[in-house]
Amino acid sequence: MRLKQIEISGFKSFAKKATLTFTAPVTSIVGPNGSGKSNVVESFRFVLGEQSMKSMRGKSGSDLIFKGGSNAPKLNRAAVSITFDNTDKVFNFSPDSDKTGAPVLFDEVTFTRELYADGTSRYLMNGTEIRLKQMVELLSSVNIGTSGHHIISQGEADGILRASARDRREMLEDALGLKIYHYRIKESESKLTKATNTLKEVQSLRRELAPHLNFLKKQVEKVEKGRAIREELELLSLQYLATERSFIREEDNRLAQAHSLIASKKSQLEQLLSTLPEETLHDATATERSTISAQLQIVREKRRTTESRISRLEGMVEAQRQMLVAQSKQQQFVAKAITFAPQEYRMLLDDVEALMQSIREASTVEMVKGLMGKIESLVSRLKAREQKVPEHQEVPSVVDTGIKDTALELEELERELKAYIGQEEDLQGSLQAAEQARDVSMLANQVSTRKRYEIISDIKQSESELQILEVSKSAFLQRKELFDAELKEAGFLFGVGFVQQLNNAQSIPEFDLHTQKRNIDRLKIRLDEHAGIGNEVVSEYESTVERDTFLAREVTDIESGVRNLETLIIDLKRVLDEQFTSGIKVINERFSDFFKTMFGGGSAFLSITLEKKRRRKNADEELALEGEELEEQEDEFERGIEVHVNLPEKKVKELNMLSGGERSLVSIALLFAISQVNPPPFLVLDETDAALDEANSRRYGDMIELLAEYSQLIVVTHNRETMSRASVLYGVTLGTDGGSKLLSIKFDEAVKVAK
């Protein structure tokens, strides 16, 4: 048991959902004409993917949707669902001859087709939307093909007899489950056509690419020469710059060391020069000696003055002594007398002399007046010291008092003279010491001057050497700037990696830099000659070569694919031929048996024929010959099927000579024989027994019971004999709303009720 039920909703005359459950080997559908029995049959065609509106008695998709009735509105959707038992997992996603593929794991498989008023439709399996092709493959795995041989409608029973040999072959291939090979052959041929066209396109692309590739190749050869020159230039530049860098470093160190050495020597000389006493053109002790001489002159002058005063005082003392002698001889009275101490007297005398000298040297009257005022003051002091001596009193001797005072003053002056003599001796010694220091200083100054001149000469020599170093350094800096410029140019020309190589490169001893520089300049000129071709040419060439290589691989792969497809097509056709031939052999055996049963004897068989097949040119040739009559290509042969019958007790062998009843019996026998080779899960027979008489109806019923052992049968009939062979009877009637309705009855239950 494979088919379980079918649900019809909105399809043609079925406005409301109607469900037919198939629990018996033979189910019969009966009802008056126009009730919708054939719509049940067409619902099978619809849900199994039928695309021809003509086979379902319609012109467009909207004709298959319920149009409405007196009490029922028009619907916008039609849906039919068919459910199969899949407990043994016979449904397969990739059906082939040995049933290898991915099985459907559901215990029940329900296919649904929905149709909408706008003409769109969709297919579902267990509620999941699938493509029609997938559904066809799944149905093919249980021998339900698209040719509809398992659904035989009224008036189409002898369709297999009326069909052409080619159509008859297709019906048999579908019944034998060989349609999948045609699908694969057609798909492979389509792939082969596409692969062939793609191969032509790829080959054309390669042909178009070849001239450009040759041009790029020549350009790349020039680039390669430039690259070789560039590599040689890079090597020479690396050697040159490494050696030049080493020289610059050594020269830089040498100049720095020389400059440091000379500068250090100059600094030491300058420091030594700073320690030498300053050169003097005059006597360093002249001031000291002049000061000592001046002091000595003053002391000597004071000594002479003191000696003069001493001499004068000694004369005064001598004169006073003489006066004292005279006084002793003569007594007299003194009315008045001024007494002075010797020292005070001398001081008054000096003051008077000094004032007089100042008056003589005065240059203005005011100065003279001032000096005279001082003299008057001095006179006033003298008057104040006047004393009167009492009468008849003996006046002490003035001379005697003066001698005493002068003697005291003389002692004082002698002490002063002695001090002046000591000071004169000290100053004389200091003067001699200063003169000796002058002589020593003059001698030392001569030595220091000679040493200074020598140091200054060495300093000037160091400065001259530093100037020479500055000139050398200036030339060195120019060379260093040139090296930096060359290094920058090399970095720009050869990239950052060149600088890294230069850091790791070693200088070459005894390297002729000038010769190397000339070689580098020569290579630069040669490199400039190749500068017109950029590296993008190499990139373009490489991409073009890569594309050509890719296209070459594509050609190889496509050619391999073409060969594989050709081999596959040959193998598929061979398998198709073998299985078709073996299938026809089995059908002939069954056809012969059913034919003898139906006609009580005779014989019938199928034969394979070959017919010429005319092919037209392809689309390109049709386009080239547009407007002209297309030429026929070389004839090819295709197979067909011819039906041969030999009725008992008749010499009729041609099908067109059979009566209508005989044609129905032959077609039924043939269809039943076909269904026995690869039995489908069910067979739908739509009034195929309409043209049979009573005797043939019984034979028809016997064959139905025989077929029911292999497939479920859904029989639409008016024949009572056929109805009697069914276990379940569905009656179709037309309701008051204009829609079809179902009534079901099981004969076993009916018998019980009848009893």
Confidence of residue 694 (pLDDT cuts 50, 70, 90): confident
Question: Residue 21 and residue 7: Cα distance in Å, rounded?
Answer: 9
Confidence of residue 156 (pLDDT cuts 50, 70, 90): low
pLDDT (0 to 100) of residue 637: 74
Question: Residue 47 and residue 6: Cα distance in Å, rounded?
Answer: 9
Question: Residue 580 and residue 300: Cα distance in Å, rounded?
Answer: 171
What's this model's pTM, rounded to 2 decimal places?
0.50
Confidence of residue 296 (pLDDT cuts 50, 70, 90): confident
pLDDT (0 to 100) of residue 453: 81
Q: Which of 36, 55, 43 is nearest to 82 (CA)?
A: 43
Residue 336: beta bridge partners? 388
Cβ(742)–Cβ(731) under 8 Å? yes
Rounded to the nearest 5 percent, the helix, strand and coil shares of the chain are 60, 15, 25
pLDDT (0 to 100) of residue 389: 42
Question: Residue 703 and residue 239: Cα distance in Å, rounded?
Answer: 105
pLDDT (0 to 100) of residue 328: 64
Sign of the C-alpha dihedral, residues 504, 507, 508, 512?
positive
pLDDT (0 to 100) of residue 29: 93
Q: DSSP readout, 410-456?
A: HHHHHHHHHHHHHHHHHHHHHHHHHHHHHHHHHHHHHHHHHHHHHHH
pLDDT (0 to 100) of residue 755: 44
pLDDT-above-90 percentage for the chain: 11
Instruction: Using DSSP, state whether 626 is helix, strand or coil.
Output: coil
pLDDT (0 to 100) of residue 654: 75
Instruction: Using DSSP, state whether 671 is helix, strand or coil.
Output: helix
- Mention every residue, 6+ apart, whose C-beta is less than 8 A from residue 262: 462, 465, 466, 469
**pLDDT surpassing 90 at residue 235:** no
Q: How far is CA 641 from CA 165, 167, 172, 184, 217, in A?
A: 5, 8, 9, 22, 63
pLDDT (0 to 100) of residue 71: 77
**pLDDT surpassing 60 at residue 142:** yes
Q: CATH classification of 1-144+681-755, choosing from 3.40.50.300, 2.102.10.10, 3.40.50.2300, 1.10.287.3510?
A: 3.40.50.300
Confidence of residue 662 (pLDDT cuts 50, 70, 90): confident
pLDDT-above-70 percentage for the chain: 80
Confidence of residue 388 (pLDDT cuts 50, 70, 90): very low
**pLDDT surpassing 50 at residue 161:** yes
- Letter for the amino acid at 724? S
Q: Which of 28, 51, 32, 23 is nearest to 41 (CA)?
A: 28
Question: Of 57-61, 152-156, 372-376, where does mean pLDDT reach its minimum?
Answer: 152-156
Angle (nearest 5°) at CA 479 between 477 and 484? 90
**pLDDT surpassing 60 at residue 706:** yes
With left for phi above 0 and alpha for psi between -120 and 50, is residue 155 left, alpha or beta? left
Confidence of residue 752 (pLDDT cuts 50, 70, 90): low
Angle between helix axes 179-275 and 535-599 (nearest 10 degrees) is 160
In tens, the pLDDT along 474-501 reads: 888 888 888 888 888 888 877 777 877 7
Mean pLDDT value of segment 623-648: 66
pLDDT (0 to 100) of residue 518: 86
pLDDT (0 to 100) of residue 166: 85
**pLDDT surpassing 70 at residue 383:** no
Angle (nearest 5°) at CA 230 between 228 and 235? 95
**3-class secondary structure for 604-615?**
EEEEEEEEEECC
Per domain, the residue ranges of the chain are 1-144+681-755
pLDDT (0 to 100) of residue 277: 66
User: For residues 435 and 40, which has the higher predicted lDDT (pLDDT)?
Assistant: 40
Confidence of residue 400 (pLDDT cuts 50, 70, 90): low
Mean pLDDT value of segment 401-426: 79
**pLDDT surpassing 90 at residue 125:** yes
Confidence of residue 340 (pLDDT cuts 50, 70, 90): low
- Mention every residue, 6+ apart, whose C-beta is less than 8 A from residue 658: 645, 647, 652, 666
pLDDT (0 to 100) of residue 395: 45
Instruction: Work out the mean pLDDT of the chain and round it to a whole number.
Output: 79
User: For residues 372 and 272, which has the higher predicted lDDT (pLDDT)?
Assistant: 272
User: For residues 86 and 690, which has the higher predicted lDDT (pLDDT)?
Assistant: 86
Question: Of 195-199, 464-468, 613-617, where does mean pLDDT reach its minimum?
Answer: 613-617
> Count of residues for the chain?
755
Confidence of residue 282 (pLDDT cuts 50, 70, 90): low
The encoded tokens of residue 266 equal 């100059």
Mean pLDDT value of segment 93-114: 75
Q: Pinpoint the alpha helices (H) of 495-534.
A: 496-504, 513-529
Residue 6: beta bridge partners? 20, 82
pLDDT (0 to 100) of residue 387: 47
75-84, 142-151, 628-637 — most confident range: 75-84
**pLDDT surpassing 90 at residue 83:** yes
In tens, the pLDDT along 530-577 reads: 665 666 777 888 888 888 898 898 899 999 999 999 999 999 989 988
pLDDT (0 to 100) of residue 155: 61
Instruction: Using DSSP, state whether 18 is helix, strand or coil.
Output: strand
Mode of pairing for the β-strands spanning 128-130 and 636-646: unpaired
The encoded tokens of residue 582 equal 């073996």
Sign of the C-alpha dihedral, residues 596, 598, 604, 605?
negative
pLDDT (0 to 100) of residue 458: 86
pLDDT (0 to 100) of residue 123: 94
Q: How many helices (H) and strands (E) does the chain have?
A: 17, 16
pLDDT (0 to 100) of residue 230: 80
The kind and range of the H/E element at 71 are none
User: For residues 223 and 683, which has the higher predicted lDDT (pLDDT)?
Assistant: 683
User: For residues 349 and 201, which has the higher predicted lDDT (pLDDT)?
Assistant: 201
